[in-house]
Amino acid sequence: MAQWTSAVGAAQLARLLGSQQDRPAGPGTRRPPAYRALADGIRLLVLEGRVPVAARLPAERELALALSVSRTTVAAAYEALRGEGFLESRRGAGSWTAVPAGNPVPARGLEPLPPEALGSMIDLGCAALPAPEPWLTRAVQGALEELPPYAHTHGDYPAGLPALRAMIADRYTQRGIATMPEQIMVTTGAMGAIDAICHLFGGRGERIAVESPSYANILQLMREAGARLVPVAMAEGLTGWDLDRWRQVLREAAPRIAYVVADFHNPTGALADEDQRRRLVDAARSAGTVLVADETMSELWLDEDVEMPRPVCAFDPAGSTVITVGSASKAFWAGMRIGWVRAAPDVIRSLVAARAYADLGTPVLEQLAVNWLFGTGGWEEAVELRRTQARQNRDELVSAVRRELPGWEFEVPRGGLTLWVRTGGLSGSRLAEAGERVGVRVPSGPRFGVDGAFEGYVRLPFTVGGAVAEEAAARLAAAARIVETGGTTGGEAPRTFVA
């Protein structure tokens, strides 16, 4: 019986390996043998989760042909990987990826580090801040006071608590978007909302257009749902969408869904203006594409003079094209797993009906906590605290990176939680690996792209500041030196660092 559960084709593997291009070797830098470079490339793909564990690799002859190298090179690379525990083989069954005993299985998304690892590792993988106290505690206390009447019911509210649905609808109406409670479904975070939308509109094999780059966890969710992702490149810098490219993709690929982040895009921080929003909605309507607008960052403007455009759904008065997703997780706290969908009532009814086969509903106590925040003004005060914290972290992280890594390039976004950094020609995947060795965890650019794009980037979140930001930048600089020279850390363990 074969031990592999999926397969990676020769052309696909060659494309992924081809994205891992380091800068040219400088004087005195020794390049590894071809087989060693190939083995390292495959190992990185496994460690990144871009090639799954237990995936069958191409036969030696097939991969040699796809890479234009000798079969001897591929055979030697496979043998090296077997010796290191990253490959297993059996006659008649082929070779499949593995991880050495004692190593964690690589994650496909961006999961936070467990608390016990935070003493020695600075985590720049997860774009989430600690809770804005005292508002979390007050919200939970307020929710407990409101809980008794609900405790006398079955507790299942597939569409969400009526009080919270009405509150969210009122908030949209106050923003100038007339909304009824029947247009709202409360979900378990934004991920739960988008998962439900993808299952309703984007069955296996359906095309979904996505910004390139885009949020890594959403891309992985869509891949695992069986979607065919169609990337659409962002415009340069922080200028938002390239509408000519969007019109071309919508016209030629006819995707069933398009997923966009208009407000402080993750990972670039771009803010789409009103004209871009209007034109994209018009193009999606003409193509018959459902436009899913992710608003999870919409309240995280960090500069006081930012003028926020109207929501994307403002340009779809009939409600036939745009589905909006919101969440408490970014603006308030990632542990508050409350999200919502705003859509036409018939879409909400379909989503609610389909939910019976998923998670049935969202926890009542957390819904009551968010409703308390919305109803008392606590939300606005908590989010303002969050903006202040993120703004200070942003400025301190930017200053530290510019000092330690002057060759890295980025534009400073005016909101959101992430900095999208071009790494001066270094491989983001190799930086991520070297960072783990020197005590800083950073996600590489390809996690935010399709088929190996953005190898020359990393994403840095505004989750650390002060001395921790200084130390994080210093460790990133150490990782960059390792990648540049092909060297090692010399066995030195990362220092324990307590903020």
Higher pLDDT pick, 144 / 54? 144
- Residues 202-232: tens digit of each pLDDT: 778 899 999 989 999 999 899 888 899 999 9
Q: What is the pTM of this model?
A: 0.82
Model confidence band, residue 160 (pLDDT cutoffs 50, 70, 90): very high
Q: What is the pLDDT of residue 20?
A: 62
Q: What is the pLDDT of residue 494?
A: 46
Q: What is the pLDDT of residue 377?
A: 96
How far out from the chain centre does Cα 430 lie? 19
Q: Is the pLDDT of residue 490 over 70?
A: no
Q: Which of 61-75, 303-317, 347-361 has the lowest mean pLDDT?
A: 347-361
Q: What is the pLDDT of residue 119?
A: 66
Cα gap 347→361, rounded to integer Å: 17
Q: What is the pLDDT of residue 68?
A: 94
Q: Is the pLDDT of residue 92 over 60?
A: yes
Percent of the chain with pLDDT over 90: 67
Model confidence band, residue 100 (pLDDT cutoffs 50, 70, 90): confident
- Residues 368-419: tens digit of each pLDDT: 999 999 999 999 999 999 999 999 999 999 999 999 999 999 999 999 999 9
- Residues 432-465: tens digit of each pLDDT: 989 989 999 999 998 898 866 788 899 999 999 9
Model confidence band, residue 104 (pLDDT cutoffs 50, 70, 90): low
Cα gap 229→211, rounded to integer Å: 10
Q: What is the pLDDT of residue 109?
A: 47
Strand order of the β-sheet with 87-90 is: 6-7, 55-56, 94-97, 87-90
Q: What is the pLDDT of residue 323?
A: 98
Q: What is the pLDDT of residue 258?
A: 97
- Residues 21-67: tens digit of each pLDDT: 544 444 455 678 999 999 988 988 887 667 877 888 999 999 999 99
Q: What is the pLDDT of residue 3?
A: 62
Q: Which of 92-96, 257-261, 322-326 has the lowest mean pLDDT?
A: 92-96
Q: What is the pLDDT of residue 91?
A: 84
Look over the chain and give the mean of its residue pLDDT values, rounded to a whole number: 89
